[in-house]
Amino acid sequence: MAVTLLSTVLRIPYRLLKVFTMPEDEDAKYYHDDPAWEDVEAIPQDDGALHPLAAIAYTDEYSEAMGYLRAVMAKNEYSERALQLTEHIISMNPAHYTVWLYRAKILHEIKADLRKEIDWLNPTALQHLKNYQIWHHRQTIVDALGSPKGEADFIAIMLKEDSKNYHVWSYRQWLVGRFNLFDQEDELRWIESMIEADVRNNSAWNHRYYLQRGKLGSEDAVARELEHVTQYAKYAIRKAPQNQSPWNYLKGIVRAANLPASTLKEFALEFADVQRPDDIYSSHALDLLADVYAEEEGSRDDAKQALELLATRFDPIRAHYWQYRKSLLEGQAIAA
């Protein structure tokens, strides 16, 4: 900790860089003494004259490898050794945007085995959990392979590291759309298991919404499916009434089905009643009731009471917002 803090504070001024040398990494890979690369002349980075901005104290290894990358890119070389070089660069700088495009082009030109590419991508993604380019590349490869085989298993490993990893969930949605997995029992069972493990995982709730929303395409479908689509969220809310994710899901489904908020009034009353402020089990139920009462003939005072309870007792962190909502109701009253 102290050492990293020190490196944050004590930095090398530009003019002294040549005096200090970077520690040598024993495993570092160099190209200048590699016979396989002797025909290539590296293109060093040109950082201008005296005043580069946001310059980085590169390691010798990175500087040299980048010089060779620029050289093979300049020649449009598509070869096995260039492929390995992209791997080396990615291990040090996975956010290099053209190295991924270059790699995809090499794979195509040398007709590489794309299954092997996936085998390499798996550990690479685990090393760089927050990297975006890896997922874009994976999408290109899996699209070309034409099969989602093995992908669910890999996603499970990634989500073990971070169950709310945005890139991974986005990729899962792409898989569902690309291979039409909406009605697969496996997909629904999987998402329910994710919610069981952490009922507050909003990414999982969002994915469930994505799978289910298509079922409410027509009035007939709403009449037939609504109960089924909403009962799981109701079950989850009864478990943890103060968890906003399933409330949002539930209200979203009702809105998507073009039904009024009052559809959920009875359910909300299980958790809150403005007449009994000492028996409130969920601020989100109060919020929903405020919406319902605002739309209901002659219930404006109840709506205001719900918002007042939120501002003063049950959700004071958002007091300004609830007061704003209340002022809107008062404005309406004046206008009427």
Partner 1 sequence: MAPGLALDAEESRLNYAAHIRYWRRNLKTFLPHQFTGNDCNRMTLAAFIISALDILGDLKAALSDGEREGYIDWVYRCQLPEGGFRPAPATDLGAVRSRENQIWDPAHLAGTFFALLILINLGDDLERVKRREALQWLTKLQRPDGGFGETLGEADRVEGGNDSRFGFMAAGVRWMLRGNLEGPVDGVPDMDVDALVRCIQAAETYDGGLSEAPYHEAHAGFASCAISALHLVDRLPTSTPDGRVRGLNNLPLTLRWLASRQTLTLDEEDAADTYEDETDSSATCHDSHSFMKLRDYPTTRGKLSFIDQPLVHAELKWVGMNGRENKIGDTCYAYWVCTPLKLLGHLDIVDSKPIRRWLLDRTQHLVGGFGKLPGDHPDPQHSFLGLMVLSMFGEAGLQSVDTALCITERAKQHLESLPWRRKLLAMD
Window 237-276: residues binding partner 1 (CB under 8 A):
239-245, 248-249, 251-253, 255-256
Residues that contact partner 1, how many (by CB under 8 A):
92
Beta carbon of residue 247, minimum distance to partner 1 (angstroms, whole number) = 9
Do 40 and 71 form a contact (C-beta atoms < 8 A)? yes
Coil, strand or helix: which one is 4?
helix
Instruction: Compute the distance between CA of residue 200 and CA of residue 90 in angstroms, rounded to an integer.
Output: 34
Instruction: Compute the distance between CA of residue 129 and CA of residue 132 in angstroms, rounded to an integer.
Output: 9
Do 223 and 216 form a contact (C-beta atoms < 8 A)? no
Residues in contact with 240: Cβ distance below 8 Å, sequence separation at least 6, in sequence order: 199, 200
- Please identify, using beta-carbon distances, which residue of 94 and 302 lies nearer to partner 1: 94
- Please identify, using beta-carbon distances, which residue of 137 and 305 lies nearer to partner 1: 137
Stretch that binds partner 1, among 116-124, 151-159, 226-234, 320-328 (CB under 8 A): 320-328
Beta carbon of residue 256, minimum distance to partner 1 (angstroms, whole number) = 7
Beta carbon of residue 297, minimum distance to partner 1 (angstroms, whole number) = 20
Instruction: Compute the distance between CA of residue 115 and CA of residue 123 in angstroms, rounded to an integer.
Output: 14
Coil, strand or helix: which one is 75?
coil
Do 232 and 189 form a contact (C-beta atoms < 8 A)? no
Beta carbon of residue 284, minimum distance to partner 1 (angstroms, whole number) = 10
* 68 touching partner 1, by CB under 8 A: no
- From 130, 149, 164, 239, active-site residue: 130
* 234 touching partner 1, by CB under 8 A: no
Stretch that binds partner 1, among 56-64, 148-156, 218-226, 227-235 (CB under 8 A): 56-64
Stretch that binds partner 1, among 27-35, 147-155, 195-203, 219-227 (CB under 8 A): 195-203
- Please identify, using beta-carbon distances, which residue of 50 and 334 lies nearer to partner 1: 50
* 38 touching partner 1, by CB under 8 A: no
DSSP label at 162?
A: -
Known catalytic membership, residue 265 = no
- Please identify, using beta-carbon distances, which residue of 50 and 336 lies nearer to partner 1: 50
Supply the Cα-derived Rg of the chain in whole angstroms. Answer: 28
* 145 touching partner 1, by CB under 8 A: no
Instruction: Compute the distance between CA of residue 28 and CA of residue 12 in angstroms, rounded to an integer.
Output: 22
Tokens linked to 227: 């109960």
Beta carbon of residue 201, minimum distance to partner 1 (angstroms, whole number) = 7
| Binding-site string for partner 1 from residue 151 to residue 170, where x marks contact by CB under 8 A and - marks none | ------------xx-x--xx
Q: Which residues inside 197-226 make contact with partner 1, applying CB under 8 A?
A: 197-203, 206, 209-210, 213
Q: Which residues inside 277-316 make contact with partner 1, applying CB under 8 A?
A: 279-283, 313-316
Amino acid at 14: Y
* 183 touching partner 1, by CB under 8 A: no
Residues in contact with 86: Cβ distance below 8 Å, sequence separation at least 6, in sequence order: 69, 99, 100, 102, 103, 106
Amino acid at 130: K
Do 237 and 250 form a contact (C-beta atoms < 8 A)? yes
The 3-class secondary structure across 225-269, one letter per residue, is: HHHHHHHHHHHHHHHCCCCHHHHHHHHHHHHHCCCCHHHHHHHHH
- Please identify, using beta-carbon distances, which residue of 35 and 100 lies nearer to partner 1: 100
CA within 13 Å, CB half, 190: 17
* 190 touching partner 1, by CB under 8 A: no
**Annotated catalytic sites, by residue?**
130
